[in-house]
């Protein structure tokens, strides 16, 4: 995974009480720590599957995300950013931010802590749809994006285990008719990082279909 999810996506330390493996006697999460632990050499490995509109598997592969020992510091705003697969990121007061190479204009990527229904990161986006539609046959569209916190303390089970998660939902809509052409569901566990990511796209029959899914296979988080 070379970029952060419309993934994926999909990212100090070991698993804190904020989100333990549910098989280890966890009593539930607490909102402490960070949504993506950024210790150097943290690594997450995922199984990624892309689907055709008929539900068959188009492509499946193993992907990974790692924190590299490349650090940028901006003395003017006090931000220290780390390299997460080529993107500079940081955990700040309001949550997980993408900083950019010049670390001048941080962009909130995942609000944390947050309440269900909180909106963040609204704005227009140009993107390529996973499935071309009758309305958008060329698949390149300008859509408005609405990012919300859809759920908290949601138990999600993947090959790496069971985790309590925040569920972030993004709807990419036509700015005129407000039709959702693309939807991204991201599941993040505090102090663990991304657990699962699902993308849904409208197809030529005007039906929302699962376009891709990735699940955490394994992780190595530094103490």
Q: What is the mean pLDDT of residues 81-97?
A: 94
pLDDT-derived band at 137 (thresholds 50, 70, 90) equals low
Q: What is the 3-state secondary structure (H, E, C) of the chain?
A: CCCCCCCCCCCCCCCCCCCCCHHHCCCCCCCCCCCCCCCCCCEEEEEEEEECCCCCEEEEEEEEEEEEEEEEEECCCCEEEEEECCEEEEEECCEEEECCCCCCCCEEEEECCCCCCCEEEEEEEEEECCCCCCCCCCCEEEEEEEEEEEEEEEEEEECCEEEEEEEEEEEEECCCCCCEEEEEEEEEECCCEEEEEEEEEECCCCCEEEEEEEEEEEEECCC
Q: What is the mean pLDDT of residues 148-167?
A: 97
Which range, of 140-154, 178-192, 204-218, averages the lowest pLDDT?
A: 140-154
pLDDT tens digits for range 197-215: 999 998 888 899 999 999 9
The CA distance from 22 to 168, in Å, is 21
Alpha-carbon torsion angle 143, 84, 48, 187, nearest 10: -70
pTM: 0.83
Torsion sign, CA atoms 136, 63, 168, 90: negative
**Strand-pair partners of 99:** none
Which range, of 21-30, 70-79, 111-120, 125-134, averages the lowest pLDDT?
A: 21-30
pLDDT greater than 90 at residue 38: yes
């Amino acid at each position: 995974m070379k970029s952060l999810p419309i993934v994926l996506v999909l990212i100090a330390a070991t698993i804190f009480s904020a989100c333990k493996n549910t098989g280890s006697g966890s009593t539930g999460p607490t909102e402490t720590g960070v949504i993506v632990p950024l210790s150097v050499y943290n690594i997450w490995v995922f199984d990624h599957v892309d689907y055709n509109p008929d539900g068959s598997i188009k492509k499946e592969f193993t992907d990974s995300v790692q924190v590299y020992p490349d650090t940028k510091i901006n003395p003017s705003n006090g931000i220290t950013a780390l390299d997460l697969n080529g993107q500079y990121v940081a955990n700040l007061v309001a949550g997980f931010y993408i900083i950019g190479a010049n670390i001048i204009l941080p962009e909130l990527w995942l609000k944390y802590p947050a309440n269900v229904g909180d909106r963040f990161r609204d704005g227009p986006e140009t993107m390529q749809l996973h499935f071309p539609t009758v309305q958008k046959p060329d698949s390149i569209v300008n859509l408005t994006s609405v990012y919300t916190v859809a759920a908290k303390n949601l138990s999600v089970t993947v090959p790496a285990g069971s985790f309590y998660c925040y569920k972030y939902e993004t709807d990419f809509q036509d700015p005129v008719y407000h039709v959702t052409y693309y939807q991204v569901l991201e599941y993040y566990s505090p102090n663990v990082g991304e657990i699962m990511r699902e993308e849904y796209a409208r197809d030529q029959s005007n039906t929302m279909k699962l376009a891709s899914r990735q699940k955490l296979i394994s992780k190595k988080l530094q103490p």
